[in-house]
Structure 1
Amino acid sequence: MSRTKWAEVDSYLTDKLISPDPVLKATLAANATAGLPSIDVSPTQGKFLHMLATIQGAKRILEIGTLGGYSTTWLARALPPEGRLISLEFAAKHATVARENIAHAGLSEIVEIRIGPAAESLAQLHAEGTAPFDLIFIDADKPNNHTYLEWALKFSHKGTIILIDNVIRNGEISNAQSTDPNVTGTRAMFEIIAANPRLQATTLQTVGSKGYDGFTLAIVL
C-alpha cells in the first residue's frame, strides 16, 4: 500500500473526526510562510496528544521540541486555567513564530517557550528546582532521544506519561547495523526503557500523511 493511500486515509479521518479549526490552520500557514520545515504532527496525532493530556488530567506539561507551536497548542488546550506548559526550542526563529502562534491561540498565559539546546534548557530547569510534570512530549533532535528520556525521568512523578515521537525511522529502528544518528540515538533510548524498572512502555507503528513511523508511550511507575 502506498504513502498516497495512507495520506488519503489520514485526510478522511481528519474530515470525519476533527472539527475545522481556524487557529490551528493559521498556525500551519504561519509556519509555512516563515519557511519552517513541514514536520509538525498531523491533525489526528495532534488530537491524540490533546486527548492523552485530557485523560491524564495534566496540569503541567513539558514539551521538548516546539517548532512552530502546532503540537504545543493541541497540548496546552487540554490544560486547566491554572495549568502550565513549558516548551523547549533550539532555533530562535522557530521560537519567535511559535510565540506568535501561541499568542494568536490565546495561550500565552499558560505556555512558556525557552530557547537554546534542549539539554541545556533541561539542566537549567533542574537547577531552578522545577516541579515534576504530568505529561512529557519528546519530539526534538532524535540523536539525543536517550538524553531527553533521562532528563524526562528526572522531571517525572509516579504516573507521569512520557511520549516520544518518530521512533520507527521508516523501519530502520530494527537495523542494528545502522550508523544513522537518528536511529542510534533512538535505539539507545529503547535500551534505557528496557533496563529501567521505573518504566512501563509500548510502541505503536503508524502510517499516514507523515509516512511510516511511530511513537513510544511510557508510564512512570
Structure 2
Amino acid sequence: MRAHDYPTPTIEECTVVDHYFANRLAPTDSVLERVLAANQAAGMPPHDVAPVQGKFLAVMVQITQAKRVLEIGTLGGYSTICMARALSEGGHITTIDNNADFALVAAQNFELAGVTERIEQRVGTALEVLATLQGPFDLIFIDADKPNNPAYLDAVLKLSRVGTTIIGDNVVRGGAVSNPNSADPNVLGVQRFLQKLATNPNLNSTALQTVGEKGWDGFSLTVVNALP
C-alpha cells in the first residue's frame, strides 16, 4: 500500500475542512439557506449536495460550457439552482423527479432563486421521462435511486453527443462499493453502473472519493468519446 503523505483524518476533521473550503470558495447565501429550510420543512431526506459539491457542479457547467443540462433527481432543487446560476445566456436545465410533492417545493425554490425560466421540471418515473426527451445534452448529473443507475446510464447515452460529460453521484457508499459480497441494492446498482463505465469503449471515466459534512462518498466523471 502506498505510504500516506498526511495522517488519516476523522470524518469530524474532514467536515471542518469542508466548511473551511465552503466559507472561502462556496459561501452560502440567504436564498440557498431558505431552500434547505424549505426542503427540511417538507420532510425531504437530507440528500442535498453540500455547498462545495454544489459549487463543483456549477464549475463543471462553466468548464463544459454546457447549454443543455440534464439532471436525474431533483429533490428540492438545491443542486439544480447551483447549476442554473452557472449557465450562460440561453442555457437550460431539464430536471426529473418522481415525487410530485417534492417537485412543488422545488418549483417554489426555483422561483425564490429567480431561475425558473432556465429550468424545465419533469415529474414521473425517470426512465419513462428519459424516453421522451430529445438530446443531445452537454452535461448530465445522475443523482437518483442507485439500483437504476445502470439503466439511467443506458438511457442518457442515447441523449448524449461526443463530448457530453456525465457525473454520477454517491458512488462510494461509505466504502461499500468495493465490497464484492454486498447485498445492498444501492451498492449493487453503483457497482453495475461502474462496470458499465469501465467496459464501454466509447467512454472515458474516472471516480473520486470525497469526505466532509456528508461523510465518505464520491462521484464518477465520464466523457463520451464516441457514439455507437
What count of residue pairs does the alignment treat as equivalent? Answer: 217
1:90 aligns to 2:98 (yes or no): yes
Q: Of 48, 65, 71, which residue of structure 2 is paired with 1:40?
A: 48
Identity fraction in percent: 51
In structure 1, runs of 5+ residues without a counterpart are: none
List per-residue Cα deviations over 1:68-88 (Å, max 9, x = no partner).
000000111121231110000
Q: 1:164 is matched with which residue?
A: 168
Residue 21 of structure 2 is aligned to residue 16 of structure 1: no
Q: Which moved more, 1:198-207 or 1:80-89?
A: 80-89
Please state if 1:4 is matched with 2:21: no
Q: State which drifts further: 1-10 or 110-119.
A: 1-10
Q: What secondary structure, in the 3-state scheme, does the structure 2 residue paired with 1:176 have?
A: coil
Q: CA deviation at 1:37?
A: 1.0
Contact 1:64/1:138, CA 8 A, preserved across alignment: yes
**Cα distance between partner residues in 1 of 2:49 and 2:194:** 21
1:20 positional shift: 3.7
Task: Give the alignment partner of residue 222 of structure 2, picking from 213, 218, 221.
Answer: 218
Q: 2:177 aligns with which of 169, 173, 176?
A: 173
State the AA in 2 paired with 1:183. Answer: V
Counterpart contact for 1:61–1:136, Cα < 8 Å: yes
Question: Counterparts of 1:64 and 1:20 in 2: how far apart (Å)?
Answer: 24
Distance of 1:192 and 1:152 partners within structure 2: 13
CA distance in structure 2 between the partners assigned to 1:101 and 1:81 by the alignment: 21
Q: Distance in 2 between matches of 1:168 and 1:20?
A: 26
TM-score with structure 1 length normalisation?
0.95
Say which is worse superposed, 60-69 or 81-90, in terms of deviation: 81-90
Matching residue of 1:150: 154
Asked if 1:74 is matched to 2:86, the reply is: no
> Which of 104, 123, 142 matches 1:138?
142
Letter in 1 for 2:194: F
Tell me which amino acid in the other structure corresponds to 2:69.
Answer: I
**Distance in 2, Cα, partners of 1:67 & 1:204:** 23
Residue 132 and residue 78 in structure 1: after superposition, are their counterparts in 2 closer, same or farther (change >3 A)? same
1:113 and 2:117 are equivalent in the alignment:
no
In structure 2, what residue type is equivalent to 1:69? G
How far 1:2 sits from its partner (Å)? 2.4
* Other-structure match for 1:189: 193
Gaps of 5+ in 2: 1-8
Question: Do the aligned residues in 2 keep the contact of 1:58 with 1:78 (CA within 8 Å)?
Answer: no
CA distance in 2, matches of 1:2, 1:20: 25
Q: Per-residue displacement from partner, 1:6-55 (whole Å, max 9, x unpaired)? A: 21111111112123422111111111111111111100000000001101
CA distance in 2 between partners of 1:84 and 1:23 (Å): 20
Structure 1 partner of 2:207:
203
How big is each residue's C-alpha offset from its partner over 1:72-105, in whole Å with a ceiling of 9 and x where there is no partner?
Answer: 0011112123111000001111111101001111
Distance of 2:169 and 2:51 partners within structure 1: 14
- Larger mean CA deviation between 210-219 and 19-28 belongs to 19-28
